[in-house]
Chains A and B, each alone.
Chain A
Amino acid sequence: GAVVSQHPSWVICKSGTSVKIECRSLDFQATTMFWYRQFPKQSLMLMATSNEGSKATYEQGVEKDKFLINHASLTLSTLTVTSAHPEDSSFYICSARVRGRDYNEQFFGPGTRLTVL
């Protein structure tokens, strides 16, 4: 149980286009989903926290108008990178907290590799 999927697993786009990444909890309801970003040889850094039915909370330095997060249901959160530029190329990973489980136990998706040309 507690499987998280992400789609797509990789995407290549031209500079200036928008890219949507989906994060789904397949067999559980996720009260909270987190979006992380990982640059090469760096660790995961939190971008934003998303709760179902409310606005996302962004970390300092993360542009909310550039990284749009929608958490429309207890099983789906989406991250849209608007007007992507090469510096947005990174590995984006979501995680989900399971309703009813240990508050601090999170399950991670397989990640999405974004390359902006």
Chain B
Amino acid sequence: DIQLTQSPSSLSASVGDRVTITCRASQTIDIYLHWYQQRPGKAPKVLIYAASNLQSGVPSRFSGSGSGTDFTLTISSLQPEDFATYYCQQSYSSLWTFGQGTKVDIK
């Protein structure tokens, strides 16, 4: 299986901060990398698909970049509703995998 490693596992930030989360794949996955946000007790929500495409309805402060093995999710100015856990997910292989998650909490 393709392994996805996110860093950091958790971070503390303040409203207005710029936040960057990285996801590294164990082998090249082209741009088949997607980002989700999950709030407690809720199902995950797609933010970015195919590495850099903003899902419909998602605020433009979210952006994604990367290809091959290294990917980044950036939140340009953290808002109160952004405190959540973020996951990357690959669909390059028929066996999908998720990263272990990055929890963003209030500083």
A binds B: no
